[in-house]
């Protein structure tokens, strides 16, 4: 019997009307109904630049402080206690089955984005060895993507999550372009994909490199903000 990948409770075989109408193979949800409501989707009231949930649709103070080329980010969920607990179990405890919790929400979010090439933010060698997977590509199912970015091997061992805001903003460019990047990026609209938008520093470093690779537009999508 199928169990919810998040809480382990048994999943009922509930078939929705939309599934019946499609006449296709039934897609079984990986997550029970209770767990589906644990995360908080970001509403239409969000910062138009970074996607942060707020009470109006003005550019937030953090975004006003960025200079240079603006980066528009869309985010799916609020980074609250439930999302933090999810990321802790998935990323830091390395529970790879939990990727299935966000696969369907990400598929729906990607369908709303306009882009030619999807570029996930890579993980560095040390993280790869410790975790064994890239948390971002784990959420992708059949969607095509390109690893146009590489992480420099000299990147410091301290993870972004262990730094305060000021230290994060000072972070040096960690990315380089993959050898075939120009052929993938030239004149294309690129969507960067990452797990959490915190200060936006990582995504802006990535966007800078993608523009150097010849992209005509760069936007980003994160699972949480
Ligand atoms: Zn559950
Ligand atoms: Zn903002």
pLDDT at site 17: 59
Q: Which residue has the tokens 């767990």?
A: 35
For residue 224, the CA-to-ligand 1 centroid distance in Å is 20
Q: How confident is the model at residue 205 (pLDDT cuts 50, 70, 90)?
A: very high
Q: Which ligand is nearest to the CA of 62?
A: 2
Structure confidence by residue, pLDDT tens digits, 37-81:
999 999 999 999 999 999 999 999 999 999 888 899 999 999 999
pLDDT band, very low/low/confident/very high, at 164 (cuts 50, 70, 90): confident
Q: Give the ligand with the smallest distance to the CA of 98.
A: 1
pLDDT category of residue 29 using cuts at 50, 70 and 90: confident
Alpha helices by DSSP H, the chain: 17-22, 33-36, 61-64, 81-87, 99-111, 125-131, 165-169, 181-185, 201-212
The CA radius of gyration of the chain, in Å to the nearest whole number, is: 18
- CA–centroid distance, 87 to ligand 2, in Å, is 22
Query: Distance between CA 201 and CA 194 in Å, rounded?
Result: 12
The ligand whose atoms approach the alpha carbon of 7 most closely is 1
Nearest ligand atom owner, CA of 198: 2
Ligand positioned closest to the Cα atom of 86:
1
Q: How many angstroms is it from 103 CA to the middle of ligand 1?
A: 15
- Closest ligand to residue 38's CA: 1
Ligand 1 centroid to 22 CA: how many Å? Answer: 25
Bridge partner list, 176 = 150
The model carries a pTM of 0.89
**Cα of 97 to ligand 2 centre, how many Å?**
32
Residue 225 structure tokens: 């903000």
Pairing of strands 175-177, 149-151: antiparallel
The predicted structure's pLDDT at residue 19: 55
Q: What is the largest CA-CA distance in the chain?
A: 53
From the list 151, 155, 156, the residue with the least C-alpha distance to 177 is 151
- Mean pLDDT of the 132-149 span: 96
Instruction: For residue 22, report the phi and psi dihedrals to the nearest 5 degrees.
Output: -75, -20
If you average pLDDT over residues 118-131, what whole number do you get?
A: 93
- Per-residue pLDDT for 24 more than 60? no
Interval 91-114: pLDDT, tens: 999 999 999 999 999 999 999 999
């Amino acid at each position: 019997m199928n169990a919810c990948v998040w809480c382990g409770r048994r999943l009922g075989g509930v078939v929705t009307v939309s599934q019946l109408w499609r006449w296709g193979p039934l897609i079984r949800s990986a997550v029970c109904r209770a767990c589906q409501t644990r995360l908080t989707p970001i509403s239409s009231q969000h910062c138009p630049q970074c996607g942060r949930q707020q009470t109006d649709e003005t550019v937030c103070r953090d975004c006003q402080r960025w200079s240079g080329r603006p980066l528009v980010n869309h985010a799916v969920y609020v980074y609250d206690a439930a999302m933090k607990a999810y990321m802790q179990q998935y990323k830091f405890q390395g529970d790879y089955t939990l990727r299935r919790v966000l696969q369907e929400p990400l598929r729906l979010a990607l369908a709303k984005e306009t882009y030619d090439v999807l570029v996930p933010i890579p993980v560095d060698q040390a993280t790869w060895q410790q975790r064994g997977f890239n948390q971002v590509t784990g959420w992708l199912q059949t969607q095509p993507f390109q690893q146009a970015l590489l992480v420099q091997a000299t990147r410091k061992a301290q993870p972004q999550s262990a730094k305060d805001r000021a230290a994060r903003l000072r972070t040096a460019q960690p990315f380089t372009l993959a050898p075939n990047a120009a052929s993938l990026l030239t004149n294309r609209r690129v969507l960067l994909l990452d797990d959490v938008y915190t200060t936006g520093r990582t995504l802006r470093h990535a966007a800078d490199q993608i523009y150097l690779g010849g992209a005509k537009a760069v936007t980003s999508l994160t699972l949480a903000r």
